[in-house]
């Protein structure tokens, strides 16, 4: 059985081919970073148009690399949400058309569910690791921070962000510091040469006793600190939205040592907040294993910290291989395959794109 995965929810156009053992036969990711970078964030209209241009090429390439013909596809898995509606519609329409034309089943996939299972995928032609439920999942990306328990037949949400996502916080702060977009990778590199315990920054919890995340207080505190250090890159007026003239970028090497420490402390605050919630949930319900995923799962300090935590608590921590941290269609194909085994397929004509689609609903 061969699954074709399609992902177009945000700024990567991706098509993948996966076999029934979760072996990735091809995973083509066409990034639109260059198109959005001048604006310091994703511009929805540019994203939708770029998907339309890139998808046919990514599709051809994915089949070519997997060494298969269209007629060999047995199942189509496509991201139906959450994401930018215009962007989602490009992939979903293509997936529906293909399923309809070839007479094969279609599975609409929740993008977050894709991330959730991405930690089980292996690169280099190996089969996916066995998915043993229950397990806990932490999805941390540019749009989401979600902690869930994955049980047989259902996903139970335990905590999510009340405001910004961690990746969004990285992106906004990096932009204000004149470091460009996306912010996570560049802050990660800078933080490696800084002192992360130098500046105490708030690691907020909403005051209602829930385990939810909140990163807006940290962002505000960071903006104040950056101002104090007279760092004000990006567009004059700061980050109001992606529309507008391009940013002016600064060289990360030219940052003052104090600012390097400040950025390291900012990264430490995000990692501490995530670890704190993981520890609380573990104390409440004893995790059997933790699968971490999403773009922020590429962060070196987060990976190291969670692995150390897992070793100390005896909880296996699964991290996605780098290729599967950011948005990709292999994870969509895999989540689609698991869903298909559980629930079967859906009538292709009934699948709709959803800009909002919380995990577990």
Site for ligand KG4, rule CB under 6 A: 10, 141-143, 167, 170-171, 182-185, 188, 294-296, 298-299, 326-327
Nearest-approach distance from CB 26 to Zn ion, in angstroms: 19
Nearest-approach distance from CB 14 to Zn ion, in angstroms: 10
Is 146 a binding residue for Zn ion by CB under 5 A? The answer is no
Is 141 a binding residue for Zn ion by CB under 5 A? The answer is yes
Cβ-based nearer residue to ligand KG4, 98 or 219:
219
Distance between CA 42 and CA 75 in Å, rounded?
A: 30
Is 113 a binding residue for Zn ion by CB under 5 A? The answer is no
Nearest-approach distance from CB 10 to Zn ion, in angstroms: 6
Is 327 a binding residue for Zn ion by CB under 5 A? The answer is yes
- Give the one entry of ligand KG4, Zn ion, none that residue 171 binds, where binding means its C-beta sits below a cut-off of 5 to 8 angstroms depending on kind: ligand KG4
Contact 343, 105 (CB under 8 A): no
Q: Which of these ranges, 18-26, 41-49, 239-247, 320-328, lies near Zn ion under the rule CB under 5 A?
A: 320-328
- Give the one entry of Zn ion, ligand KG4, none that residue 296 binds, where binding means its C-beta sits below a cut-off of 5 to 8 angstroms depending on kind: ligand KG4
Is 325 a binding residue for Zn ion by CB under 5 A? The answer is no
Cβ-based nearer residue to ligand KG4, 75 or 226:
226
Nearest-approach distance from CB 2 to ligand KG4, in angstroms: 25
Residue numbers at the binding site for Zn ion (CB under 5 A):
141, 327
């Amino acid at each position: 059985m061969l699954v074709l995965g399609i992902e177009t929810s945000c700024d990567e156009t991706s098509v993948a081919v996966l076999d029934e053992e979760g072996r990735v036969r091809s995973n083509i990711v066409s990034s639109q970073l260059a198109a959005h970078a001048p604006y310091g964030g994703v511009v929805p209209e540019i994203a939708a148009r770029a998907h339309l241009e890139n998808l046919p090429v990514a599709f051809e390439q994915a089949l070519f690399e997997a060494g298969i013909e269209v007629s060999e596809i047995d199942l189509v898995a496509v991201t139906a949400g959450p994401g930018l509606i215009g962007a989602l519609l490009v992939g979903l329409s293509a997936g529906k058309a293909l399923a309809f034309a070839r007479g094969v089943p279609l599975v609409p996939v929740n993008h977050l569910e894709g991330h959730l299972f991405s930690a089980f995928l292996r690169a280099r032609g190996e089969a996916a690791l066995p998915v043993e439920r229950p397990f806990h999942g932490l999805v941390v990306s540019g749009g989401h921070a979600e902690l869930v328990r994955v049980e047989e037949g259902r996903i139970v949400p335990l905590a999510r962000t009340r405001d910004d996502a961690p990746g969004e916080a990285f992106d906004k702060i990096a932009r204000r510091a004149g470091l460009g977009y996306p912010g996570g990778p560049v802050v990660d590199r800078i933080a490696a040469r800084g002192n992360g315990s130098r500046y105490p920054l708030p690691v907020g919890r909403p005051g209602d006793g829930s385990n939810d995340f909140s990163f807006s207080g940290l962002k505000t505190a960071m903006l104040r600190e950056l101002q104090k250090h007279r760092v004000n890159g990006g567009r004059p007026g700061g980050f109001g939205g992606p529309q507008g003239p391009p940013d002016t970028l600064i060289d990360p090497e030219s940052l003052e040592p104090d600012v390097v420490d400040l950025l390291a402390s900012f990264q430490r605050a995000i990692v501490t907040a995530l670890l704190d919630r993981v520890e609380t949930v573990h104390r409440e319900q004893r995790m059997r294993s933790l699968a971490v995923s999403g773009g922020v799962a590429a962060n070196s300090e987060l990976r190291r910290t969670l692995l150390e935590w897992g070793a100390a608590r005896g909880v296996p921590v699964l991290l996605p291989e780098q290729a599967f941290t950011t948005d990709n269609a292999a994870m969509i194909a895999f989540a689609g395959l698991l869903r298909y085994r559980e629930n079967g397929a859906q009538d292709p004509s009934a699948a709709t794109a959803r800009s909002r689609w919380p995990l577990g609903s």
